[in-house]
Amino acid sequence: MRWMSRKALVVLAAGILPIITVLGSSPVATTQAATIHTGGTVYVGNDEEPDYLNPILAGEATSFDVLTQVFDGLDNYLPTGFPNNTGKWRWVPDLATNVPTPQNGGVTNGGKTVTFHLRKGVKFADGEPFTAADVVYTWKVWTDPKTNAYTTAGFKPQGSQGGITSITTPNPYTVVLHFNKPYAPYLTIFGDILPAQYLQKNCPDKCLDGKINTFTAFNDKPFGTGPMEVATWQHQNYVKLVKNPYYPKKGGWDGPAMRTSSIIYKDVPSTNTQILQMRTGALQYVDFIAANSALYQQFASVPGVTVSRTPGLEWEHLDFNLTNPLLSNLKIRQAILYGLNRQQMVQVTGGGKLFKVANGDQPPFSWAYDPKLPVVTQNIKKADSLLDAAGWKMGSNGYRYKNGQELTITCLTTSGNELRAENQQIIQQQMKKIGINWKTTYLPSTVLFSFNSNGPVFGTKPTFEVTEFAWVDGVDPDNSFIFSSKDFPPTGGNDMHWKNSIVDAAITNELSTLNQAQRKADLIKVEEQIAKDVPMIPLYYVDEIYATKNTLQGTSPSPLGYGMWNAQYWYLH
């Protein structure tokens, strides 16, 4: 399972140079081929289906993988070599004509006023023009108290965290955001703009009062100003994308018109099935590959397939439910940490190449990454000492007991993911060495990570003990959505139910300053408290892995977790 940390979708752009590794029998596809063909259908495979296709409601990475081609934002974060992953990453205008900063006068009033000037001549896929009214309407729906928004970070003040208090529009092509206090990730707030005229006309109550939550006419077939629109969503099967007929055929504000006739984004839960379908030609592209070293080599051995990978923003981890009586004991969590051999896990599953042991929640791709943070290594003696101190004594069968009860811990994770299943086998073996009977329950991602009151992980009263999945951070390193005590589920991502006053203060500070050095210092404080309290254990940082058939050209691996990020450039030959 990969969830986008949607609260972390901005960076005060630091130049980041990607490193791309390629393995396979054909060269990396680029957009520099002599002849660019149009038409045809591309079949894309992913191991999980989207949770929603409405950007307000969506939280899973696969959702935004699709939606990158459907909705545009006011600004976009792209490399200088776009549509290839080359050069430095930086903010560029998208639906806006400017990237507002204090230096160019777009950010004023001490960071509390941000002005965007909008592009003229842009149309939604239904032919209606894009104006400032669409931005205001998006804000109103997103912040409606009854809208089941995945996050409202930045859209409105939340406790001590800043947010938009009002929006003014001096003219149809100028938007002025007014904040109660400076909000550092201001560029990420409007990453998706809704079609106001369509929704106000066709949705009950203009999609306010929570009506957006169930308006399936749009939620299953969304459209925006991007180069594509959703034609069909067959749940648990596929999403079909077709051209936005009003996107300029000679090239628009965000690149050329879609070159293929359609893209079928298929739900293929098994990695082995993905490999088979690449062999038969049923798939031309697989993104978000959950591959261990063996599966990686199997992909690369398919004739005519190139496997590419690049460091990204994804990190695998174990989360503890701190409302659980057993896991609320710090000694138990520390014992599990010291009982783990993450280096062995990285070596066995990734061949020592695909993953890097994590020392925190900030991947090396992020400007907030601190290589000086230590990595705890396995220490069986210390783990045994902690469990002894917690009253759990080793029994004759190799497992620990307390008051006649065996020390059994169950981890919930996603079904159909071969890599995660291998991780769990390794953890089970390592935990047995310290007397913990580690068990695993596999559930479909749509069940396991349901953001409703009854969800086992992100519910109001979580029932899980430990869970394994991955976060894909945004381009901004703020992860308050995961660690703030104000972001407990089902309205936030703090499934651990961790509350730490030092963390809350650091989050408030880092969100309120545009000084990158100060933000990094505050974010390091958060990681230091993670190491102290152990509400979760970061396992490893994940390279983004993609497989491409040589009949498909124009793809390029993205570190941001969006395999579809440049899909309008793709073409078949």
Nearest CA among 548, 555, 550 for reference residue 569: 555
Q: Please give the C-alpha separations between residue 517 and each of 330, 369, 375, 475, 524, in angstroms, as whole numbers.
A: 32, 12, 23, 16, 11
Nearest CA among 196, 262, 257 for reference residue 223: 196
Q: Structural domain boundaries of the chain?
A: 313-542
Instruction: Could you list the beta-strand ranges (E) of 195-261.
Output: 228-234, 238-243
d(CA 423, CA 361): 19
Query: Would you state the pLDDT for residue 2?
Result: 41
pLDDT per residue of the chain (573 residues) written in tens, 0 to 9: 344 433 333 222 223 333 444 555 333 344 444 588 899 999 999 988 899 999 999 988 899 999 999 999 999 999 999 999 898 889 999 999 999 999 999 999 999 999 999 999 999 999 999 999 999 999 999 999 999 998 899 999 987 889 999 999 999 999 999 999 999 999 999 999 999 999 999 999 999 999 999 999 999 999 999 999 999 999 999 999 999 999 986 666 567 889 999 999 999 988 889 999 999 999 999 987 877 788 889 999 999 999 998 888 889 999 999 999 999 999 999 999 999 999 999 999 888 888 999 999 999 988 999 999 999 999 999 999 999 999 999 999 999 999 999 999 999 999 988 889 999 999 999 999 999 999 999 998 888 888 877 889 999 899 999 999 999 888 889 999 999 999 999 888 999 999 999 999 999 999 999 999 999 999 999 999 999 999 999 999 988 889 999 999 999 988 887 899 999 999 998
Burial 60-83 (b: 16+ CB within 10 A, else e): bbbbbbbbbbbbbbbbbbbbeebb
Match 């099967």 to its residue by tokens: 237
Q: Quick one: DSSP state of residue 340?
A: -
What's CA 332's distance to the chain center, in Å?
Answer: 29
d(CA 438, CA 426): 10
What radius of gyration, in Å, describes the C-alpha atoms of the chain? 23
Dig out the tokens for 506 from the structure: 């650091």
Answer whether 512's CB lies under 8 Å from 181's CB: yes
Query: Would you state the pLDDT for residue 472?
Result: 84
Task: Supply φ then ψ for residue 465, to 5 degrees.
Answer: -100, -55
Dig out the tokens for 66 from the structure: 């699709």
CATH architecture of 313-542: Roll (3.10)
Query: Would you state the pLDDT for residue 188?
Result: 92
Diameter over CA atoms, the chain:
77
pTM for this entry: 0.86
> Strand, coil or helix: what is 94?
coil
